[in-house]
Structure 1
Amino acid sequence: MSEESEKSVIRPTDDEARALAKRLMRTARFAGLAVLDPETGAPFASRVALASEMDGAPVMLISQLSHHTRALDADPRCSLLVGEPGKGDPLAHPRLTLVGRAERIAPDTQAHRHARRRYLMRHPKAKLYVDFADFAFVRLNIERASLNGGFGKAYELVADDVLLPADGLDAFQEMEVSAIAHMHEDHLDAVRLYAEKLARAGAGDWYLSSLDPEGLDFVDGDRVARLVFDAPLAAPQDLRAVLVDLAQRARARA
């Protein structure tokens, strides 16, 4: 295939493609991780469990005993493949390849506490080993991405297409824990209506796992769902009014 014909199959990146890529990132519980074998230089693929940071960047919890960890220590270049196949042809379902460099998150930092909390909300069984000395959290610093939305729907994206700007996220991180705790303690019925009626995730014991300026993430065991706001929040104090409006809309549908 010539370079010109290869480029012709790539569609111009639009908001629909960005939204699909973000959804695949935010709802991924696991990914295929591709690294470079430090001994042979050959590609090496494995599976890792995922959560996401506030800006959307994937976070992995990796063991020093794993071959992919040793590979990342030698060369941080890697890629992640996210997107779960459903019924029928697996190639007809959307998937996203993220390319970048792995960066360890230093322990005893705010970034580590944030990543740990979000990861455990997504993978609660990891509490058994998350604090072992040979485990570490790693963030993928995305450089580019390749989205395949199904047959004939290929896009090339850059980091800004899939990540939130860093400005202002600290304030949302500070309020996230208390906001989620409040919703679980006083408004768990509304949380479940958000997931069931607005995110169309179906009935279940849904809990909020994380939030960000663009939406809410829910978990029910191995299931993950996301509800995207009509417009991104400008500041943390805007969240309450949005949640009240969402509750009214969800109850109307119920």
Structure 2
Amino acid sequence: MTSSITPRIVPAAPAGDQDFDSASYLRRIVREMRVCALATTDSQTGYPYLTSVNAAANRRGQVLFLTSLVAPHSRNMRKDPRLSIMCYVDESGESWAHGRPLTAGRVTLSGMAHVTDTPEDIEDFLSAHKKLSVAVKNGGFSIWKLSPQGVEMMGGPRLAPELRVEDLKISNLS
């Protein structure tokens, strides 16, 4: 009997497992994430710029995230709205997998971002981040919404299914 070197938080589905619903798992990660890594293109140097941001999904399953108006990543997105985000959720619902992110389900979404100020998006973001309501309501921060163009999910070497952006769509939320 063999054991894995790295304990898995998310059990690996056997290769070819027809019962594993990767699209539902993708939507679950997006729905439950609270922090994500955000990669933008630095507006001054052209190099990648990576940071962490508070994030949540709105009721349609779209990714929302918060940035300071003066942060480099906000400046970068105003000049070039293309970005990638990577979100983690482990089986306990904790972002960043208790220090073991490579054993948790994670998804990378790439696309275009824009600032949103719709009451619904603000309410959805703040329902996940109640302690940030003062910062959001007093200004100095923006909530951004991602319009994904690409998606890749990973949850260990056996959970690397082919997914489409359509798998995130409203009608597919479960």
Per the normalisation by structure 1, the TM-score is 0.55
Structure 1 segment 46-57 matched on structure 2, within 5 A: 46-57=51-62
Task: Name the structure 2 match of 1:197.
Answer: none
Map Cα deviations across residues 197-222 of structure 1 (whole Å, 9 max, x no partner): xxxxxxxxxxxxxxxx94xxxxxxxx
Name which of 54, 58, 64 aligns with 1:59: 64
1:131 aligned onto 2:137: yes
- Structure 2 unaligned regions, length at least 5: 1-15, 89-94
Q: Are the structure 2 counterparts of residues 89 and 142 from structure 1 closer, same or farther at C-alpha, using a change threshold of 3 Å? A: same
Q: Does 1:116 align with 2:122?
A: yes
Q: CA RMSD in A?
A: 2.4
1:104–1:125 Cα change, 3 Å = same
Which moves more between the two structures, 25-34 or 79-88?
A: 79-88
Distance in 1 (alpha carbons) for counterparts of 2:51 and 2:123:
24
Per the alignment, residue 91 of structure 1 pairs with 102
Task: State the match for 2:24 in structure 1.
Answer: 19
Note the 1:103-252 alignment, pairs <5 A: 103-105=114-116, 107=117, 112-165=118-171, 214=173, 228=174
Q: Distance in 1 between matches of 2:52 and 2:157?
A: 25
Identify if the C-alpha distance between structure 1 residues 90 and 134 changes in structure 2 by more than 3 Å, giving closer, same or farther: closer
| SS in structure 2 of the partner of residue 19 of structure 1 | helix
What is the distance in 2 between the residues matched to 1:145 and 1:22? Answer: 11
Structure with greater Cα Rg: 1
Contact kept, 8 Å, 2:40 with 2:50, in 1: the verdict is yes
Q: Of the two structures, which has the highest relative contact order with CA contacts closer than 8 Å and spacing of 6 or more?
A: 2
Q: Secondary structure at the match of 2:83?
A: strand
Identity of aligned residues (%): 27
Higher helix residue share: 1
Deviations for 1:182-234, whole angstroms, at most 9, x for unmatched residues?
Answer: xxxxxxxxxxxxxxxxxxxxxxxxxxxxxxx94xxxxxxxxxxxxx5xxxxxx
Q: Tell me what 2:13 maps to.
A: none
Say whether the 8 Å CA contact 2:102–2:155 is kept in structure 1: no
Total equivalences in the alignment: 153
Point out where structure 1 has 5 or more consecutive residues left out of the alignment: 1-10, 166-212, 215-227, 229-254
